Structure 1
Amino acid sequence: MTTPKPGDPTWVDLYSADPDRAIAFYGELFGWTAERAGEEFGGYITFRKDGKAVAGGMGRMDGDDGPDQWTIYLASADAAATADAAAAHGGTVVVPAMAVGEVGTMAILADNGGAGIGVWQAGTSAGFEAIGIASGGHWSEHAGIPTWFELHTGAYDAALDFYRGVFGWQDPFALDDGSGFRYTTIHAETPMLGGVMDTSVLMPGTPASWTVYFGAEDVDKATEQVAALGGAVLMPPMDTPYGRVSGVADPTGARFSIGGNKI
C-alpha cells in the first residue's frame, strides 16, 4: 500500500447493529480476522486479511435508527479544512472533524448530491495496509481486499465539481459512450482506485451513494455464499468491460459490491 494522495480512498468502515454477527459473516465470506480496540476507542473493530488491516467496524449508537452501512473515507491533509470546503461547495458536515487519539482525525460529510463520504487525516495510521487495484481486470488476485470505490449519482457534473473543489481531484479520465453511460475515474493515471458513475439515465431516481468493491476469486460463488450466510443479493453477478461484479448486502443490510475476473 503506497501513501495515499489527497482525495484517494484510504479507509472503509462498517456501521452495524450487530457487530458480532458482522465479524462472523465477513470472517466466513472473506477470511477476515477481527480485533477490538479498548473502551477509549468505543470497541472499534479492525478487520484484517492475512494480518493486514483492510477495514474497520463499529456498533450502532444507542437511539440511532439509521441504516447499517459501509462508509468510504478519502484522504485529507487537514480534515477540518476539508469539512469547511465541503460546506462551502454545497455539502453538509454530518460529523465535524474530531481527533481519534493519535491515530488520526476523521469527519463525515454529505456531498452536494446527498451521498455520505468520510474524511481521514492520517496520524499514526494512514488507513489501509493492503488494497487491491482493479484496473486491468485482475480483481481476483485481491480476494477479500478492497479493490474499487465508486460513487453513483444523478448529479454527475455537480458531484465532480464538488470533489474537485473539496478533495482536489485532478485530471480524471472521463468516458461518455453517447448512450447515457458517463463515468469518470478519480485519477487519470494508475493506480486508479475508483470513479463516479452518472445514474441519471441508466438508473433514474437512485439515491446518490458510495459503494466499496471487495475482490473475489469467483464472484458467483462469493455471491452465493453471501446469501447462504444470511445476506442478500441485490444485483446478480454480471459481466462488465472491466470484470464480473455483483451487488449484495450483509445480514443487517449494509450494502457492498463484489468484483472479480470474467468467467
Structure 2
Amino acid sequence: MTFRDTPWPEGTPCWVDLMTDDPARADAFYGALFGWEIADQGEEYGHYRIALLEGRSVAAFGPKPPGMEQAPSVWTTYLAVADADKTVAKVSEAGGQVLMPPGDVGDAGRMAVVADPTGAVFSLWQARENIGLQNVNVPGTVVWNEGMSRDFDRAKTFYSEVFGYHLGDLSNADFSYTTLDLDGRPIGGLGGISEGESHWSTYFGVTDTDAAVAKVVQLGGSVRGEPSDSPYGRMAQVADDQGVVFNIISVTG
C-alpha cells in the first residue's frame, strides 16, 4: 500500500473526480465496487464527496456546477503543479485552452481546468492543505492515468513543453503510445486513437479483474471492453450505472 502525505511532484497525476448528475448514486455504486467510504464535505463545498480507503483519500464525486448540467459526466485527471497560474500560461503558449481559469478552493489548494491542443480535458492542482490522492497503486485506488489523443505527435509536443516529460515511446507500426516520465520513472501515459474524442482515462486497481467486471454488471454498470491480459495486469473497460467509463486493472497490495 502506498500512502502519501506530501504534495505530488509537478506533472504527476494527483487527483481524480467525477462530476455527475446523481452523486448519491455514484456513492452507492463505487462504494460497493471498491469498498470506499464517502465523506460529504457539506454545503460550503457544494456537497463534494471525498472517497476514502483505509482512511485516506482516493477519489471524489460531486454534482455538476450550475450552468454545466448538460456537460458529460467523466472521470477527470488532475496534474500536480507548483503554480497553477504559471502553468495555465504555459498551456496557452503551447496551444492548449483554458476552460476554467485558476481559482482557490478554500484553503485546500488552487485549481484550473484546461484542454490540450487536441481537445483532451484535464485539471491542474496546486496543493495547499489538500495534496489530493493519499492512497494509490493498490486495489480500490488509482493506479494509472493516460491521455488518448487524435493527434499523437501534437499531444506529445504539448505535454513535453508544459510539464517537461521525457517520453518513453513504445510505439510500433500498429500502436502509438508513450509513457510520460519524470526523473526516470513513468507517471502516466499518452496514446494515439483514430476514433472518438481525445480524452484522459483513469485506471483503478482491483484484485481480480473478472470478478470486478461481474460486480460492475451486478451493480447496474456495463462492460465496454472485455477483460484481457497485458504485461502490466489483466484489464477491462467498464461503465458505471450512469454510463461513466473507467478502466480496471489487476494489482497486488
Superposition pairs of residues 226-241 of structure 1, within 5 angstroms: 226-241=216-231
**Any runs of at least 4 consecutive aligned residues in structure 1 with deviations exceeding 6 A, and if so which?**
none
In structure 2, C-alpha distance between the alignment counterparts of 1:46 and 1:191, rounded to whole Å: 28
- TM-superposed CA distance for 1:188, in Å, is 6.0
Q: Secondary structure at the match of 2:153?
A: helix
In structure 2, C-alpha distance between the alignment counterparts of 1:121 and 1:261, rounded to whole Å: 29
Identity %: 39
- TM-superposed CA distance for 1:83, in Å, is 1.4
Answer yes or no: is the 8 Å Cα contact 1:172–1:185 preserved in 2. yes
Render the CA deviation track for 1:142-174: whole Å, top value 9, x for unaligned.
1101000011112111111111122222x2311
- TM-superposed CA distance for 1:197, in Å, is 1.2
Answer yes or no: is the 8 Å Cα contact 1:173–1:188 preserved in 2. no
Q: Secondary structure at the match of 1:240?
A: coil
Determine whether 1:87 maps to 2:92.
yes
Q: In the alignment, what sits opposite 1:102?
A: 107
- TM-superposed CA distance for 1:91, in Å, is 1.1
Determine whether 1:249 maps to 2:239.
yes
Unpaired segments of 5 or more residues in structure 2? none
Q: TM-score, normalised by structure 2?
A: 0.93
Determine whether 1:29 maps to 2:33.
yes
Q: In the alignment, what sits opposite 1:176?
A: 171
Answer yes or no: is the 8 Å Cα contact 2:112–2:124 preserved in 1. yes
Q: How many residues align?
A: 247
Q: In the alignment, what sits opposite 1:187?
A: 181
Answer yes or no: is the 8 Å Cα contact 2:205–2:251 preserved in 1. no
Q: Secondary structure at the match of 1:195?
A: strand
Amino acid at match of 1:151: G
Render the CA deviation track for 1:82-125: whole Å, top value 9, x for unaligned.
11221221111111101001100011111111011110001111
Q: CA RMSD in A?
A: 1.6
Identify the range of structure 1 (70-79 vs 235-244) with the bigger mean alpha-carbon deviation.
Answer: 235-244
Answer yes or no: is the 8 Å Cα contact 2:142–2:202 preserved in 1. yes
Q: In the alignment, what sits opposite 2:159?
A: 163
Answer yes or no: is the 8 Å Cα contact 2:17–2:77 preserved in 1. yes
